Chains A and B, each alone.
Chain A
Amino acid sequence: MSAATVTAPRTLSSRVSPLATVRHTLTLAWRTLVQIKHNPMELIDLSVQPIMFVLLFTYVFGGQMAGGHPTAYLQYALPGIIAQNALFATLNTGVGLNTDITKGVFDRLRALPISRMSPLAGRIAADTVKQVWSMGMLLAVGIIIGFRVKTDVAGVAGALLLLVVMSFAVSWVSVLIGVLVSAPEKVQIFGFATIFPMSFSSSAFVNVHTMPGWMQAWAKVNPVSFLANATRGLINGGAVATPVAQSLISAVIVAVVFAPLAVRALRRRI
């Protein structure tokens, strides 16, 4: 007599159905979101930091940038701040994944009869929700202190969608780093060291024509510029087609390069 009959007679399934995969992913996304309840620091990360950035750029740099009219600069910079914030937010994925691996949560999940992709998919789904939250936060704070949407709801929705797509692509870089480094803090360090210079050497905060020639050359092909220009076009009006296409192409390239690397690294680590 086997132990299985002693404890609980059971019929075993031989695979995970697609519907079950969706359920597992949603359960694990819920898990990532409910964590916020017990870690208020994360809420500060998601809300206070973006707000601080908006206020800082408007009231500290704004006057100097726009000849004494801070809100005029806010109108220019907010789409850039939103783009930069979206990139920073992708670090959540790598940090969370690394924490799960180093703490052993990942092993527990993988020893369960659940879809193999759901732990990662659940995390990315939850991080997308966080993305949308902090984008909304930025826009709301901007509007309170004088930012105006010059296009329409469709433009804002388009910008959100584009940012979510770009974030999804970049989160594969985050996953790769999260798998490779030994501690969650290192994801942060690595992320800041790349995203900071990338976003400041782009059109996110200034017109690139004010930069020296060599930097202009870089800024014009910097994917963050594409994203900032597209977001600006969709919210403030102006050129949309070209920067959106450039952004999408960048997103595809990033995903095609980094998704396989990340998946391979993950398979190897665990």
Chain B
Amino acid sequence: MTYAIQAEGLVKHFGDTVALDGVDLAARAGSVLGVLGPNGAGKTTAVRILATLLRPDAGRATVDGYDVVRDAHQVRQLIGLTGQYASVDEMLTGTENLVMIGRLLEMPRREAKARAAELLERFELWDARDRAAKTYSGGMRRRLDLAASLVGRPSVLFLDEPTTGLDPHARGGLWDTVRGLVDDGVTVLLTTQYLEEADQLADEIAVIDRGKVIAHGTPDELKSQVGGQVLQVRPVDTRDRETVAGLVSMVVGQDIQIEGDLVTAPVSDPGVLPKVVRHLDDAGVLVDELALRRSSLDEVFLALTGHRAEEPKPEPELEGSPA
């Protein structure tokens, strides 16, 4: 198996703060590795090391077999980076930003212009191509930033919280883009605070908390690791709530939760579903919703760390910046 990204025992200190405390990461070529964790967990520091922007204090990392410290120049020819905060030049137009990157990547002027036009079309920025990036909306800026990281056709792409601060529509659009890139064979390392995002996009997830990987595996493995599934029942008539709760509790034999008119219970044996249906039928209770679903990553995170993933909030300071 070929790993496009491999990191072993990465350690990074900023003064007395330990940003990374021995982090191992691996992403198979052509896959999406989701690095999930709350603010300040060390995600950005890890990305900055892998993208050759920061030297690790200990440990080593490779991209397509090239060492990120010793062969930094080669690594830079393979990667694309989209930072946590849009890192396009606000004073330049969309076209100028992309042409500049193309020129820096040694493309002849004509080719740089053609590549810029192609990416502007693809990211639906064509109509805004001659406007300074400072006039772009947040979603447009993020798309331009992503386009900028793709000018050189990278084989490994680092996306550091690409959708933080985007509305759901823009977020969905970016997800589609990432899926398209993976179809083209690009390896993606994506950091996120959004559990749903990792679940949607990642083939494998590494959960980071306080500079350490506390769990890793496929989204499904992570979910099963923390105990299976959740049964949800919502009666048509709210007054049946207690009846439903009693039935479910009897079948499942575990703690149940009632939120509004929704009854939920953790389940490890999928066989309970038909039993519940039978009991509900016998009791003559009609239900709106009856579902067995996997635990959400939110629940996974709570189980792994003992605290909930914090709500993402925009922070002016770069995470892990020594200043």
Contact = CB atoms under 8 A, between A and B. Distances in A.
A141 B100 CA distance: 35
A111 B85 contact: no
Contacts of B96: 31, 34
A35 to B, nearest CB: 4
Interface string A233-270: 00000000000000000000000000000000000111
Interface stretch (A49-57, A99-107, A125-133, A195-203): A99-107
Contacts of A3: 4, 29-30, 64, 155-156, 185-187
A110 B83 contact: no
Of listed A23, A28, A103, residue having the most chain B CB within 10 A? A103
Interface in A166-211: 182
Nearest to A101: B323
Contact of B103 (A14, A27, A35, A268): A27
Interface in A96-144: 103-105, 107-114
A45 to B, nearest CB: 13
Contact of B4 (A2, A16, A34, A112): A2
A12 B77 contact: yes
A39 B91 contact: yes
Given A8-B155, A16-B73, A269-B323, A35 B91 contact: yes
A27 B100 contact: yes
Given A104-B85, A108-B148, A112-B105, A6 B155 contact: yes
A28 B99 CA distance: 11
A26 B186 CA distance: 31
B179 interface: no
A6 to B, nearest CB: 3
A182 B316 CA distance: 11
A103 B87 contact: yes
Given A7-B155, A104-B86, A105-B87, A15 B92 contact: no
B91 A38 contact: yes
A115 B101 CA distance: 13
A13 B73 contact: yes
Interface string A71-83: 0000000000000
A248 to B, nearest CB: 35
Given A3-B29, A16-B73, A112 B90 contact: no
Contact of B73 (A1, A15, A24): A15
B85 A4 contact: no
B210 interface: no
Contacts of B153: 7-8
A110 B92 contact: no
A20 B106 contact: yes
A270 B93 CA distance: 26
Contacts of A24: 104
Q: Chain B's interface: helix, strand, loop or mixed, by majority?
A: loop
Contacts, number: 122
Nearest to A179: B323
A107 B77 contact: no
A7 B152 CA distance: 11
Nearest to B90: A103
Contacts of B52: 110-111
B292 interface: no
B187 to A, nearest CB: 5
B74 interface: yes
Nearest to B84: A104
B164 to A, nearest CB: 13
Chain B CB within 10 Å, residue with most, of A27, A104, A107, A111: A111
A27 B109 CA distance: 11
Contacts of A108: 81, 83, 87-88, 148-149
A1 B2 contact: yes
A3 B101 CA distance: 22
A268 B152 CA distance: 28
A113 B29 contact: no
Given A35-B92, A104-B87, A182-B323, A1 B132 contact: no
Contact of B184 (A6, A105, A113): A6
B93 A38 contact: yes
B290 interface: no
A122 to B, nearest CB: 10
B236 interface: no
A16 B106 CA distance: 11
Contacts of A34: 92, 96
Given A2-B2, A3-B186, A107-B87, 9 more contacts: A1-B29, A3-B30, A6-B29, A38-B134, A104-B83, A107-B53, A108-B88, A182-B323, A269-B323
Give the top 3 A-B pairs by smallest Cβ distance, nearest first.
Answer: A6-B185, A104-B87, A35-B91
9 contacts: A3-B185, A6-B30, A30-B100, A34-B96, A38-B92, A38-B132, A104-B85, A107-B83, A113-B76
Interface of A: 1-4, 6-8, 10, 12-16, 20, 23-24, 27-28, 30-31, 34-35, 38-39, 103-105, 107-114, 182, 268-270
